[in-house]
Every structure is written in C-alpha cells, then in structure tokens.
C-alpha cells in the first residue's frame, strides 16, 4: 500500500517545484536562526534570496559531523528551546554525542515518513508490530514506535534485551511485524532454536531492518529462519532517524522521502555533485525540519541514486545499497563507533602506548569488537590480577564511551604491527558486501 | 632469604618464549627454573637464572618488558611430604601464597614463591628455622 500517494508518486517536475519552494523557506529560516549558517553564507557572499530553485542547492555550504561537534550541544538548533519537545543523541567521533532536538512538527513528519515505510512493507492497522530497536537516546526505538502508531497498527514496545520474553510475546500474542537490527533478527532466530520454538509457532510476516549494514545473504537467512519478508529501512539521527528511505515490494533500492530529505551524491574528494547513477557520498538537506535543520549534511555513506518511476508506482528517488563509508566509522550491533573514539580513550590512560588495533568480527549473528593495546614497559607487573585490572580499567572506560562492550587484549610493547605511513588501526573480518 | 626472579611479559604467540631464551643463551646465562601458565593473550614468563641483573639488562635493552622480582626460596629435603609440611605452616599463619613453583638442584628441592605479605613471611621463615636460600648461595649450588 502507498501511504501518501500525493507525495510518493509525484511527477519529477512537481517534486522539484515542491523541493525548490521548501528549500527557499528552510534556507531563509536557518539564515535567520542559526548563526553558524548565517556566517557561512555571508563568507560565501550568499543571501537567502540567491536560493530560488532546487538546483540552487549547489551554491549552499556543506555541513559535516565535525560542525555538529564544534557546535555542541545546541549551536545548530534553529528552534527556541520552548518549541523543542524531544532530544535524541548519537555517538560522536571523539566522545561528544550528537544532540538532535525535535519540535512537535518534526516528530509529526518523522512519524509520517515512518508510516510510509511500514505501509510500503505491507503493514496495516490489523498488524501487531514489535519494536525491538533500543528505546532511549537512540532514534530507532521511539522513531519506529511513533511510526507504527501513526499507521494505526498495534505497537508492542519490546525494545532490546529480554529476548526470551520477546519470543514468548511473539508466540503468545501472534505478533505479525517486527522492527530491529538485522543482526538482532538472527539472534532472535538462534534463541528460538535454543528454546525449541519452531518457525510455525510464530506468525511474523514482515520485518523492517536497518541501523547497520547487511547483505542479501543475511536477508535470505532472516527470511528463511523467521518465515517473514525482510525489508530495508535507512536513516540517520542527524537527519531524523530511521525512515529517511525504505524499500518497496520491488526491493530495487530504497525510496527516499525526498519531499522532506533532499538527497545529492557528491564526489567525496572534490565535493562536486555527481550525475544520477554515479556512486559517491550521500548528502542530505532537511527541507522541512524545524528543530535542527541541516544544509547538505555529508552522511559519509557511499551509494548511488536512481531516478524514474518504480514498478511499485512510486516516483520518489531510490538509493542503492550502502557500499561503504568515506570515513572510518564502524557500525557494531547497530551502534556507530569511530576508531578515533577508541584512540582517545587509550591515549587518556597513561598505562597504554599509542599503538592499538581494533578487530571487528561477527560470531553467529553478533558483532564483536576487540581492542588490542600495548602496555607500557613501566606498567608491567609480575601479578596477573593487577594486569587483569588494567584490562578492566580500559574496557570499562570503552564501554562508557562507546555504549557497547569491547574485549581488551593486553600485549607487550612491539606486539602490534607498525604500519608505514598512516596507521592502519582496524581489521574488519565481517563479510558485509 | 629471597632470590631474584626475572618476570617477562610475553605475548601468547609461537616463538615469544624462544626469543627470550635465545637472548639469554647468547650471553651464556644458565637457567635454573622457568615457569609459565596457560592464559589468553599474554603470559608472565618467570625465570630463575644465573646473573639475573645481567639478564635483566639484556632483555630490557632488547625492548622486552621485564622486571626483577624478589621471590622467596626455601630449600626442602627431597622426600615425601616436605612441601605439604611447609605450606601447612604458612597456612596456619594465615599467609596465602600468590604463586609457587619448584625445582631440584643437587638433589635438593627448592620451593620458589611469593606471598601477599613479605614481612610476615620473613618472620615465619625465621621463627620456623626454614632453610632459606639467599641470592649468593644459589649460584654456589649450581
């Protein structure tokens, strides 16, 4: 089903006209409410009047994660605090989280675009839908929750954690839909096996999976083991959260809610926009956001855009699978992790040398992260418990910064391979392409 | 009463101990006892050898993490129950052993150990007339 045909099936001319109108408005809004953007535009000798059509977007400055960090916590917020009804936060590159404030209207738009996703997956008012993304600062839980309520299905806010209880609810309530990370879906299947719950004991028919990269192989495995149809959902908290784009029944790319989030593909080196179909870095401009509107936000996700009508009837542009990142961000169990965060924790503890190696793996359905560090010679002691306490010191601090647990390995000086030039600090053994 | 032990921080990797031993060999340092437990990514390789100060410098110069640790060494007769009898004394005195290993030299057993309380351990050794080994005595036994 198409939730909002007026917006999902517009002709390209109508869409461009709408986007142009909204862009004019948002540029004027940020110019007058966000000193950061006003200064940037003035430096470029650009005035709001210079932006008239959607093509003029190329004149505007980019926004990066670093800008969000530099303006922490509220520097990019455009609406007054009295209008902000909610704040979410995601991990930043060096410990400072990214703070995103939403007005009541922002929550409404987000709920609407999420409802579009669910309708596209075939979810209806008759469905019982379990939201198994984490509820909290992470946008997944509450974002999906409001989307399900907007659609009118019954939301079961299971969140993450108690998997056995979740499985009992799946069987007892006859839950028909689920939203979670793809790796959690596989973990759910494994736990079902352990509990002796058969596939035919559950009634799941549809799943919305996102917040981490996944493969067609994982899709096939999830569909086989849970007996449902698995759809991709994409989003990022800086822009709104999950719901920025979604697959339709054709599963030939993810339709972007481009009436709210205008996408561009740029060359990450030259920053020049690329032609449709070319792979590059995905950039979003929020066209309607009030709380923290962003102009040309560089997602660092590498993908391509496909224009033209889809067999499902929708005309909104489709983005391809994320082919990688133009930075070194890792997604571990749905959580964004930057190697620089880990490095800054290591460097803050004088026991450890600056050499380190991050090893990411996937055991069964769960991502694991291991950090190898070298203990400085003067901190070596002939005492195993004391050595283990040094490991714990680091792993505790990593957990508080990263929000996920990392295994620490303590090594003698010289054990970690020194690389020539720019240090290679990450080994990702997951096969995600 | 104590002797010097080399404690070497080694990665749990094939060749890690060999590297240490080859360095000691190259300088003609003789081993009396070695000890290592099975652990995960690293281990502490404990060595009693001739010329521990020289060995320490040698390893340190090779950028190996090493410390010199004073450990107690008690001579025991090579007969049934000697170690049990000795440990019983420490147990009754409430002294717990952090680690322990032993070796034989000239038909005498040597018990090497550390405790959580060195001062009390010294007292107990003296009061019970245990035959402790001092650093200088050790090498005359070789």
* Residue A402 reports pLDDT greater than 90: no
Single residue among A274, A307, A327 that ends a domain in this structure: A327
A257-302 residue pLDDT tens: 999 999 999 999 999 999 999 999 999 999 999 999 999 999 999 9
A365-387 residue pLDDT tens: 788 999 999 999 999 999 999 99
The secondary structure of residue B29, as a DSSP letter, is P
For residues A297 and A340, state if they share a domain: no
Mean pLDDT of A111-140: 96
Burial pattern B66-101, b for ≥16 Cβ within 10 A else e, equals: bbbbebbbbbbeeeeebeeebeeebeebebeeebbb
Comparing C-alpha atoms, which of A71, A87, A65 is closest to residue A30?
A: A71
User: What is the end-to-end Cα distance of chain B in Å, rounded?
Assistant: 17
Q: What is the CATH number of the domain that holds A145?
A: 3.40.50.12780
**Number of structural domains found in chain A:** 2
Edge-to-edge strand order for the sheet containing A297-303?
A: A261-266, A280-286, A297-303, A324-325
Q: How do the domains of chain B map onto residue ranges?
A: 2-69, 71-141
Residue A217 is predicted with a pLDDT of: 82
Mean pLDDT of B34-40: 89
Please report which confidence band the pLDDT of residue B142 belongs to, taking 50, 70 and 90 as the band edges.
Answer: low
For residues A262 and A389, state if they share a domain: no
For residues A309 and A380, state if they share a domain: no
Residue A422 is predicted with a pLDDT of: 53
**B65 → closest Cβ in A372, A384, A413:** A413
CA separation for the pair A166, A159 (Å, rounded): 9
**What's the sign of the alpha-carbon dihedral A361, A230, A404, A196?**
negative
For residues A229 and A361, state if they share a domain: no
Lowest mean pLDDT among A7-16, A420-429, B50-59: A420-429
Burial pattern A181-219, b for ≥16 Cβ within 10 A else e, equals: bbbbbbbbbeebeeeebeeeebbbbbbbbbbbbbeeebb
| Residue A433 included in any domain | no
Please report which confidence band the pLDDT of residue A355 belongs to, taking 50, 70 and 90 as the band edges.
Answer: confident
CA count, 13 A, side-chain hemisphere, A396: 7
B chain contacts of residue A377, beta-carbon cutoff 8 Å: 9, 60, 63, 65-66
| Inter-chain touch B65–A384, beta carbons under 8 Å | no
**B9 → closest Cβ in A372, A380, A409:** A380
Q: Taking a C-beta distance cutoff of 8 angstroms, is the pair A83, A103 a contact?
A: yes
For residues A222 and A340, state if they share a domain: no
For an interface test with A, give the residue of B6, B7, B11, B46 to mutate (most A CBs within 10 A). B11
Which fold is adopted by the domain B71-141? VC0802-like (3.30.2130)
For residues A292 and A364, state if they share a domain: no
* Residue A72 reports pLDDT greater than 60: yes
Residue A407 domain boundaries: 335-428
Comparing C-alpha atoms, which of A410, A425, A430, A239 is closest to residue A333?
A: A430
Min Cα distance B60 → chain A (Å) is: 9
CA separation for the pair A112, A46 (Å, rounded): 33
CA separation for the pair A149, A129 (Å, rounded): 10
Q: Does residue B130 sit in helix, strand or coil? A: coil
For residues A263 and A310, state if they share a domain: yes
For an interface test with A, give the residue of B60, B65, B115 to mutate (most A CBs within 10 A). B65
Lowest mean pLDDT among B6-10, B50-54, B135-139: B135-139
Residue B141 is predicted with a pLDDT of: 66
Min Cα distance A381 → chain B (Å) is: 7
Q: Phi and psi for A11 in degrees, rounded to 5?
A: -70, 160
Q: Phi and psi for A304 in degrees, rounded to 5?
A: -135, 165
**What's the sign of the alpha-carbon dihedral A18, A22, A25, A28?**
negative
Residue B73 is predicted with a pLDDT of: 95
Q: Is A409 on the interface with B (CB under 8 A)?
A: yes
Residue A92 is predicted with a pLDDT of: 60
A24-60 residue pLDDT tens: 999 999 999 999 999 999 999 999 999 999 999 999 9
Q: What is the CATH number of the domain that holds A418?
A: 3.30.300.30
Please report which confidence band the pLDDT of residue B139 belongs to, taking 50, 70 and 90 as the band edges.
Answer: confident
Task: Kindly tell me the burial class for residue A268, based on how many C-beta atoms sit within 10 Å of its own C-beta (0-12, 13-18, 19 or more).
Answer: middle
The secondary structure of residue A136, as a DSSP letter, is S
State the count of interchain CB pairs (< 8 A) between A and B. Answer: 46
For residues A306 and A358, state if they share a domain: no
Mean pLDDT (chain A, rounded)? 93
CA separation for the pair A10, A255 (Å, rounded): 13
- ipTM of this model? 0.88
Mean pLDDT of A396-405: 89
A83-100 residue pLDDT tens: 999 999 986 656 678 999
For an interface test with B, give the residue of A412, A413, A415 to mutate (most B CBs within 10 A). A412
For residues A247 and A386, state if they share a domain: no
A chain contacts of residue B6, beta-carbon cutoff 8 Å: none
Single residue among A274, A298, A327 that ends a domain in this structure: A327
B chain contacts of residue A414, beta-carbon cutoff 8 Å: 63
Beta strands in A104-223 (DSSP E): 128-131, 154-156, 177-180, 206-209
Domain B2-69: top CATH class: alpha beta
| Inter-chain touch A412–B69, beta carbons under 8 Å | no
Please report which confidence band the pLDDT of residue A231 belongs to, taking 50, 70 and 90 as the band edges.
Answer: very high
CA separation for the pair A113, A135 (Å, rounded): 19
């Amino acid at each position: 089903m198409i939730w909002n045909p007026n917006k999902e099936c517009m002709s390209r001319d109508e869409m461009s006209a709408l986007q142009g109108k909204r862009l004019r408005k948002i540029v004027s809004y940020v110019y007058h409410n966000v000193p950061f953007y006003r200064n940037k535009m003035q430096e470029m000798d650009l005035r709001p009047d210079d932006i008239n059509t959607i093509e003029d977007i190329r004149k505007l400055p980019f926004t990066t994660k670093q800008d969000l960090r530099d303006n922490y916590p509220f520097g990019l917020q455009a609406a007054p605090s009295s209008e902000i009804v909610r704040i979410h936060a995601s991990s930043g590159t060096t410990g400072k989280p990214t703070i995103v404030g939403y007005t009541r209207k922002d929550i409404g738009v987000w709920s609407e675009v999420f409802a579009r996703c669910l309708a596209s997956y075939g979810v209806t008012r008759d469905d019982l839908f379990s939201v198994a993304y984490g509820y909290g600062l992470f946008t997944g839980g509450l974002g999906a929750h409001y989307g399900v309520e907007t659609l009118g299905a019954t939301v079961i806010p299971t969140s993450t954690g108690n998997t056995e209880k979740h499985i009992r609810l799946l069987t007892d309530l006859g839950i028909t839909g689920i939203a979670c990370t793809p790796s959690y879906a596989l973990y759910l299947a494994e736990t079902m096996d352990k509990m002796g719950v058969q596939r035919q004991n559950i009634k799941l028919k549809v799943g919305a999976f996102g917040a981490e990269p996944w493969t067609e192989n994982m899709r096939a495995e999830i569909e086989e083991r849970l007996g449902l149809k698995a759809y991709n959902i994409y989003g990022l908290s800086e822009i709104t959260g999950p719901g920025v784009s979604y697959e339709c029944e054709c599963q030939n790319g993810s339709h972007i809610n481009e009436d709210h989030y205008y996408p561009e593909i740029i060359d990450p080196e030259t920053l020049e926009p690329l032609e449709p179909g070319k792979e590059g870095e995905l950039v979003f401009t929020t066209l309607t956001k009030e709380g923290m509107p962003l102009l040309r936000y560089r997602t660092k996700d590498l993908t391509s855009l496909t224009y033209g009508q889809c067999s499902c009837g929708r005309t909104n542009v489709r983005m391809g699978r994320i082919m990688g990142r133009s930075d070194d961000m890792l997604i571990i169990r749905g959580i964004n992790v930057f190697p620089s965060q880990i490095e800054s924790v290591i460097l803050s503890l004088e026991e450890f040398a600056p050499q380190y190696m991050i090893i990411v793996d996937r055991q069964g359905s769960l991502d694991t992260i291991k950090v190898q560090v070298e203990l400085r010679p003067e901190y070596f002691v002939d005492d195993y418990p004391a050595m283990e306490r040094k490991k714990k010191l680091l792993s505790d601090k990593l957990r508080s910064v990263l929000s996920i647990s990392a295994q620490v390995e303590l090594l003698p000086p010289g054990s970690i391979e020194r690389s020539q030039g720019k240090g290679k600090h990450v080994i990702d053994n997951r096969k995600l392409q | 009463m104590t002797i010097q032990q080399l404690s070497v921080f080694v990665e749990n990797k094939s060749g890690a101990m060999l590297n240490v031993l080859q360095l000691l060999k190259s300088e003609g340092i003789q081993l009396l006892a070695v000890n290592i437990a099975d652990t995960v990514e690293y281990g502490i390789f404990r060595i009693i050898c001739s010329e521990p100060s020289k060995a320490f410098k040698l390893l340190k110069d090779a950028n190996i993490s090493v410390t010199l640790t004073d450990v107690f060494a008690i001579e025991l007769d090579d007969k049934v129950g000697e170690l049990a009898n000795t440990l019983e004394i420490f147990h009754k005195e409430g002294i717990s052993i952090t680690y322990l290993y032993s070796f034989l030299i000239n038909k005498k057993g040597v018990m090497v150990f550390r405790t959580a309380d060195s001062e009390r351990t010294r007292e107990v050794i003296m009061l019970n007339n245990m035959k402790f080994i001092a650093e200088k005595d050790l090498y005359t036994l070789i």
